[in-house]
Amino acid sequence: MIAVEGTSTDRFTRLRETLAAHIESGNEIGASLALDIDGVMEVDIWGGHADTARTVPWERDTLVNLWSTTKTLSSLAALVLVDRGALDLCRPVADYWPEFAAQGKETIEVRHVLAHTSGLAGWQQPFTVEDLYDWTTASTRLAEQEPWWKPGAASAYHMQTQGQLVGELVRRVSGRTLTEFVEAEIAKPLRADIQIGAREADWPRIAALVPPSQLPELPPGLDPESIFTRTLLGSPARDEHVDTPQWRRAELGALNGHGHARGLVRALSAISRRGQANGHRLLSEETVDKIFDVQSDGVDLFLGVPVRWGIGYALADPRTIPGMPTGRICFWVGRGGSIVMMDLDRRVTFAYTMNRLGGDILASGRTREYIRHVYDALDAAN
């Protein structure tokens, strides 16, 4: 069997073997898995290749574009500001961003943005990827448009807008860009190799993403006025934009984070461990508890599956991802299957990143299999 690098304790041998099997079969090109249990990194493994030709090995510090797993970092940045009293979850966004009150948005609260219930699931057309790359244009356009449904009444996944909304709030209250804030307040103190966008010096260690061989088919006769269609058309970033200089230089807090499984675990274990990780207290226990304040529980108007949204994260629910364990778990996923999940009951943080994208909407079969092996091992120890 193909070699997998890194370290793992004996009880996670099956997880390691599964990664090796997926690389050998070609299901994975390159990937990394990491698992922290109450401050002990019991799994930190990687293998395969960083390029489609399979000539460049996936190394310990290989980075990959995280797609929507980036949102876990942006939400963490917002929670840091909540913890410091700079942001109030129940105050209107317009209190921090006055222009945002236009078009009847004066009642939209910070919590609505973090829970995908603000009514701004996409940009009003026309809106291009070049507009997305321009921070001022992207923020101004959101401030000028009206919500597509009553804020707080339902969720529709803010696939590409959430990073802009959170990032603008971070800029308004901290005076720093989201990229700067994540670097200074999360990555450095927690010694986590993650970033929003990608520093040019790090480009050589970024793995090339491989789009799925087959995309889900859209149902015929889509209603152009439906939330699903408007969100899809109002979210211009596509697979072909990734791995370009413009993408890497942009600040896309919902989409273009770069990291690996170990980096995500080192950052997000601050949630699993009740606010403190790697010798640094990032959040109070009270702020961590706020994540589990359910904001919406029902079929998401964009994703089409039931999602329980807390503050900044989805809450564990097998209706959302089949086979996901229950308990005090929050998580989110990225396009193609990457994931980071924080289990407060077990003080466990698990992350998976890869460069071959799966075609499922939420997590891939590989993602679900890795999660199953993690929890099989944890359950066997009890």
Domain count, the chain: 1
Listed as ranges, residues in the chain with pLDDT below 50 are none
Q: Is residue 197 included in any domain, yes or no?
A: yes
CATH number at residue 304: 3.40.710.10
pTM of the entire structure?
A: 0.97
Domain limits for position 321: 63-210+224-380
CB of 87 within 8 A of CB of 173? yes
Q: Is residue 372 part of a domain?
A: yes
286: in domain: yes
Amino acid identity of 215?
Answer: L
Q: Which amino acid is at 294?
A: V
Residue 19 resides in a domain: no
The dihedral sign for the CA sequence 129, 134, 137, 141: positive
3-state class (DSSP) for residue 41? strand
74 within some domain: yes
| 134 secondary structure, DSSP code | -
Between strands 64-65 and 195-196, the pairing is: unpaired
Cβ atoms 291, 312 nearer than 8 A = yes
Q: Which residues of 20-35 are buried (b: 16+ CB within 10 A; e: fewer)?
A: bebbeeebbbbbbbbb
pLDDT in tens, 77-132: 999 999 999 999 999 999 999 999 999 999 999 999 999 999 999 999 999 999 99
Residues linked to residue 340 through DSSP beta bridges, in sequence order: 332, 351
3-state class of 271 per DSSP?
helix
Q: What is residue 65's predicted lDDT score, i.e. its pLDDT?
A: 98
CB 337 within 8 A of CB 360: yes
Other beta carbons within 10 angstroms of residue 351's beta carbon come to 31
CA 317 to chain centre: 17
Question: CA-CA distance, 207 to 365, in Å (whole number)?
Answer: 21
- Structural domain contains residue 52: no
Question: Residue 1: what pLDDT?
Answer: 57
pLDDT of residue 287: 98
Q: What is the mean pLDDT of the chain?
A: 96
Sheet-wide strand order for 195-196: 64-65, 257-259, 195-196
Q: How much is the pLDDT for 307?
A: 98
User: What pLDDT, on a 0 to 100 scale, did the predictor assign at position 239?
Assistant: 93
Over its C-alpha atoms, the chain yields an Rg (Å, rounded) of 19
Domain-embedded: residue 92: yes
pLDDT score of 222? 83
CA distance 329 to 313: 10
**Residue pair 258/194 in contact by the 8 Å Cβ criterion:** yes
The answer as to whether 1 is a domain residue is no
